[in-house]
Structure 1
């Protein structure tokens, strides 16, 4: 049985967070003395300030570090942000997100080794092996330090999706091109969850992100921390809190189909879900139109899917021509013309990497009016 601890936490006061985490670790019987070295994996998607609610807040990372340091465990903080995986980019992200300051303050190493190792995946995905960041090889286990956010493709991102950041930057782009169906992408995430099997998952929901996540949404104070010995159970708890149903949550829906998740196998501790639940959390509409499959003639199905599927578009007066979208687009559907991004929709696979990683929020998602009415 998995244990999920839900705790109200009104702000990012380091002492308060440390106190909450200590209580949670006791409740799930987490025994750090059993490990020599742990990899702490926060969500460091891109160079954003902590108050922008895109990345795991440094106070949450600091709180856990301070607890684990007392047990004389070796630690390393590591992630592979979106885009190219190199030392310059890592340093920029570490600095902007406040993680570098925390690591210097606590004497905790940050990973700058951009090499990778290959791991074999358990499960049902067609991808049987993956490269992951090198520190994984040197550690006894992984702690997923996630941010509670919405996601344009996956609907929600938390403890399990956070593991995808262990794949080196360039290969993440390739995977988006190879795996275009949402169900198959969920299979990959679930296979990573089964294979990496994080020892501990902590979701930062003090200030979450709603709306156009994972980087262009709006900060929303939920005032919670979710801690669990099971990443999938932690994500399920988060989905309940933001009023996301199982059928609208691709990860949990697929986990149930694969027999990886049963609600009755979770023990909830701490504050009740009802006491922290919000009913008006802004969640992205579903990305696809699979409900029309097999109902209409094939030619009409293809036509409707094309005109009604959400698409990224460039807000020209916000675009700086920085080339971030060009560098991270899996099918190379974006070029820079006259210092502005331009999308070739014949090549676009609607993975929304451009929307996710644009540092100027110059790429938005356009949804058909009828689509919005149907999928609300």
Structure 2
């Protein structure tokens, strides 16, 4: 399976268009039947401006719209943001610049909120039934436009993870309650991917997010690439390597190969051996395999509210799948006993007011790990 990697040094529209077009041409181009319904699925995690680096840059969506224009297809631009509240996605689509792109190219702008159909997933490991956005199910052709970012739960978020936005509103929170751990959530994402596979995937890696991504707690990282593939897993295997991961460290990559969802070989075309090492997120999941479940739960990083930064906006309260965050004396407070450690609050807080702290047992385990590494 071909994966193209093309240099793109800025978000100048002409430069982005050339890079996107070249990335598509290198993997064999695209042919879409006249009159087809084509859905562009960007990453619109939250209501952030393009320069924040958190959402897919509108110049990438504009480049795709420009390429599609002579094909005489019906173009839709849609997503469901990380928040389940009605109206939030519409706001996010506007602030991220996607609304302007849709208006400019006469595309239909769609918030997936309230537009869902229950679907049964045959052969699923975790996600047996799920409400999926009707525009995703009804599209003849899906062009997935993820953003290159690290992720506190999954280590990396790219093409496969971006399709999680196919689940409207609060349905995403429910997914975190049934699969709060990294491996289970990886299976869940692949269950979903098995029925919403995009025909084309183009990742915005001009500016990515490193560190404690994918939201405001992450740090912008100039990476200067556009990469594309007709297979989301193939693209993720290459993109993860570019930012310094062993691709098999990423659960969706590893599990996709183990489950036979991805069987082919990856062929990189265009720029080869590109590497821009990203600062990885806090080592959230590392606990030795021999410890029990109780010890594991006690050693996981815990989200805490930085009171001075909290503005009582309520986003973390609405985002929490366990409903364990309340306003106490005008500030958000996380009641730890019910916390799933899914880190949705940390991911979506626009003010970077939630930090991840190591409990005492975790400090001890990390200290022991360092000592053992030195002795080896």
Same fold (TM over 0.5): yes
SS in 2 for 1:169: coil
Does the 8 A contact of 1:123 with 1:194 survive in 2? no
Question: Distance in 1 between the 2:124 and 2:357 partners?
Answer: 33
Matched, 1:256 2:257: yes
Question: Distance in 1 between the 2:159 and 2:317 partners?
Answer: 28
1:175-195 Cα deviation digits (max 9, x unpaired): 101112321211111122221
Aligned to 2:76: 76
Aligned to 1:100: 99
Q: How does 1:277-292 map to 2 (within 5 A)?
A: 277-279=275-277, 281-289=278-286, 291-292=288-289
Question: Distance in 1 between the 2:248 and 2:22 partners?
Answer: 33
Deviation larger for 102-111 or 342-351: 102-111
Does the 8 A contact of 2:287 with 2:365 survive in 1? no
SS in 1 for 2:209: strand
Matched, 1:235 2:233: no
Question: Distance in 2 between the 1:341 and 1:147 partners?
Answer: 29
Deviation at 1:247, TM superposition (A): 4.2
Does the 8 A contact of 2:238 with 2:247 survive in 1? no
Aligned to 2:24: 25
Q: How does 1:110-259 map to 2 (within 5 A)?
A: 110-112=109-111, 114-215=114-215, 216-259=217-260
Aligned to 1:334: 325
1:277-329 Cα deviation digits (max 9, x unpaired): 024x101244324533xx35x5xx624x2442111110000001111111111
Q: Match for 1:310 among 287, 301, 312?
A: 301
Does the 8 A contact of 2:39 with 2:78 survive in 1? yes
Does the 8 A contact of 1:45 with 1:82 survive in 2? yes
Equivalent pairs counted in the alignment come to 364
Does the 8 A contact of 1:248 with 1:286 survive in 2? no
| Gaps in structure 1 of 5+ consecutive residues | none
1:244-279 Cα deviation digits (max 9, x unpaired): 0134222212223223335x611211000x2x2024
Aligned to 2:108: 109
SS in 1 for 2:100: helix
Question: Distance in 1 between the 2:332 and 2:121 partners?
Answer: 36
Q: Match for 2:312 among 318, 321, 332?
A: 321
Describe the shift of the 1:120–1:27 C-alpha distance in structure 2 as closer, same or farther (beyond 3 A).
farther
Describe the shift of the 1:211–1:65 C-alpha distance in structure 2 as closer, same or farther (beyond 3 A).
same
Question: Distance in 1 between the 2:192 and 2:185 partners?
Answer: 11
Aligned to 1:63: 63
| Gaps in structure 2 of 5+ consecutive residues | none
Describe the shift of the 1:147–1:123 C-alpha distance in structure 2 as closer, same or farther (beyond 3 A).
farther
Deviation at 1:370, TM superposition (A): 4.3
Question: Distance in 2 between the 1:335 and 1:285 partners?
Answer: 25
Matched, 1:12 2:3: no
Question: Distance in 1 between the 2:238 and 2:30 partners?
Answer: 23
Deviation larger for 54-63 or 26-35: 26-35
Deviation larger for 48-57 or 131-140: 131-140
Does the 8 A contact of 2:84 with 2:171 survive in 1? no
Aligned CA RMSD, in angstroms, stands at 1.9
Aligned to 2:344: 353
Does the 8 A contact of 2:306 with 2:354 survive in 1? yes
Question: Distance in 1 between the 2:241 and 2:122 partners?
Answer: 28
Question: Distance in 1 between the 2:124 and 2:111 partners?
Answer: 32
SS in 2 for 1:10: coil
Describe the shift of the 1:124–1:207 C-alpha distance in structure 2 as closer, same or farther (beyond 3 A).
same
SS in 1 for 2:89: helix
Does the 8 A contact of 1:32 with 1:73 survive in 2? no
Describe the shift of the 1:247–1:290 C-alpha distance in structure 2 as closer, same or farther (beyond 3 A).
farther
Q: How does 1:255-274 map to 2 (within 5 A)?
A: 255-262=256-263, 265-272=265-272, 274=273
